[in-house]
């Protein structure tokens, strides 16, 4: 098992950051069958082999995920894609 831990700063207002995060996760969910739900300011997501959360705070987001055996081999690619998505959607 591998884990991902990313903190990303942004300049969006809280509601815009929330919409950007949900939009990105919803699109990803359609592609790979990801389920998600909000609990306060934390979006929890999962599918077989992936379990994680995205916590929103003023001016930053924190992504933490645990990858199962199959996805552990793709950790670098997943991390790179997450960083690219955060930079695009949360400037």
Query: Does pTM surpass 0.85?
Result: yes
CATH of the domain at 74: 3.30.310.80
- Are 8 and 88 spatial neighbours (Cβ–Cβ below 8 Å)? no
Q: State how many domains the chain has.
A: 1
pLDDT score, position 31: 86
- Written as tens digits, the pLDDT of the chain (91 aa) is 999 999 999 999 999 999 999 999 998 889 889 999 999 999 999 999 999 999 999 999 999 999 999 999 999 999 999 999 999 999 9
Is residue 57 a contact partner of residue 43, using CB atoms and an 8 Å limit? no
Domain range for residue 29?
2-89
């Amino acid at each position: 098992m591998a884990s991902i831990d990313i903190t990303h700063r942004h300049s969006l207002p809280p509601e815009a950051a929330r919409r950007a995060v949900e939009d990105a996760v919803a699109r990803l969910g359609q592609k790979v069958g990801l389920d998600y739900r909000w609990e306060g300011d934390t979006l929890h997501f999962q599918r077989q082999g992936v379990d994680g959360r995205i916590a929103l705070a003023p001016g930053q987001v924190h992504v933490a995920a645990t990858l199962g055996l199959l996805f552990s081999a793709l950790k670098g690619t997943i991390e790179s894609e997450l960083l690219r998505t955060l930079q695009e959607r949360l400037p």
